[in-house]
Amino acid sequence: MPETLDSIAKQIHTGELDSARKALASLPRNEETRGEVKFLEGYLQELGYDREGAVRTYEALLRDDPEHTEAAFRAALLYDQFGDDELAVDMYERCTSRPPTHVNAMLNLALIYEEDGRLDEAESLVRAVLKENPNHARAEQMLKSVESVQEMVMEDPAYRERDGRDAMLDTPVSDFELSVRSRNCLKQMNIRTLGDLLETTEAELLSYRNFGETSLNEIKAMLQQKGLRLGQSLQIPEPLPPVARLPHVSGDASIHLRRPISEMELSVRSRKCLQRLGIATLGELTMRTESELLATKNFGQTSLNEIKQQLETFGLSLRSSAPR
C-alpha cells in the first residue's frame, strides 16, 4: 500500500519517526504536494532536535507559500525558544492576520504583548479567542492576568517606572551609532538589544572572532554616554538554600522538593527566567516569593500564574512574603 501524506502524518504523531522519514523520502513530489512535504520535513527535523534546520525548512516553505499558517506557527515557536521575540512576533502576527482563528498563535502572541507592556493589544487577542471559544481555560486565565497587570499599571507608579526601564533595555542595538564591524559582530553574537549588551562582559566580546579593542572601546564609550557599562545587568544567582532551610511540607509533597525544574510543564519564557535566577529544583523554587519572581525581567503575571499552577500539582507553593 503506497504511503500518503495523511498516513505519514499519522506515523509522525504516533512516534514512528524513522518510518515517516523513509516514507517521506520516497513520496513523489508534485505541485500539489510540494508544500505539505516540505512542512513535514521541517516538522521531522524539529522532532529530531534539529531546530536550526527546521527553521530553515519552514522559512524556505514560507518564501514559496507565505500563507502556510502552520509553518509560520512552528517557526514562531522556535524563534520564541531561541529568544528572538522580534521574529517570533512577526510569525505569530502572520498566523493571526487571516482566518481561520489560530488559537495557540493568538494566545502566544498575547503573552509576548503582555510582557512587552502592550496590554490593550494582548487583551484584544485574548477576548477574540474567548468570543469563539467562551470556555477556553488558558484564554480565561490570560485575560485575568492581563486585567491584573492593567490594574497594577494604573495604581502603582513604581510599576510604570519599571515598565519604562524595561522598554529602554529592549532598544535595538541597531538604533545606536556604531561602526559596521561592531554592529555585525553584535548581530552574529545574537546581541540584539541594549539589555542583551548589558548582560555581556568585555571578555565575552573580545573572545569573539574579529571583535577587537577598537570595537570594544566604541561600545564602552556609547554606553558611558548613557551612564551604563558592560555586564552591569548580570545577575549573580543567590546561593542555593541548604535542604535544612527548605519549607516544611507535610505528606507526600515533601518527596517532590528535590525534583528538577525540567519536570514542570513550563513555557520557554518561564523556564528561562528560572534559569536566570539559578533555580534548579522545586525546593529552590518554593523558597522564592511572588514579588521576587515578578522583579525578574520578562517575568510577568502570566508566568507567575503558570508556575503557581504547576507547583500546586506537586502539592507545593511559593514562599509567602509575610513572615510566618
Q: What is the pLDDT of residues 186-239, one digit of tens each?
A: 887 778 788 788 878 888 888 777 788 888 888 888 888 877 888 876 654 444
CATH class of 173-225: mainly alpha
Residues above pLDDT 70, as percent of the chain: 83
Structural domain boundaries in the chain:
1-100, 103-156, 173-225, 243-313
Threshold 0.85, pTM exceeds = no
User: For 37-73, what is each residue's pLDDT tens digit?
Assistant: 999 999 999 888 888 999 999 999 999 999 899 999 9
| 181: amino acid identity, one letter | R
Cell of 238: 543567590
**103-156: same fold as 1-100?**
yes
Write the CATH number of the domain with boundaries 1-100: 1.25.40.10
The topology (CATH level 3) of 243-313 is DNA polymerase; domain 1 (1.10.150)
CA angle, 199 then 205 then 207, to 5°: 130
Question: DSSP letters along 257-320, please?
Answer: TTSBGGGS---HHHHHHHHHTT--BHHHHHTS-HHHHHTSTT--HHHHHHHHHHHHHTT--PPP
| Cβ-contact 134, 125 below 8 angstroms | no
Cell of 180: 559596521
Whether CATH 1.25.40 fits 103-156: yes
User: For 267-311, what is each residue's pLDDT tens digit?
Assistant: 766 777 786 676 878 888 888 888 878 877 667 788 888 899 888
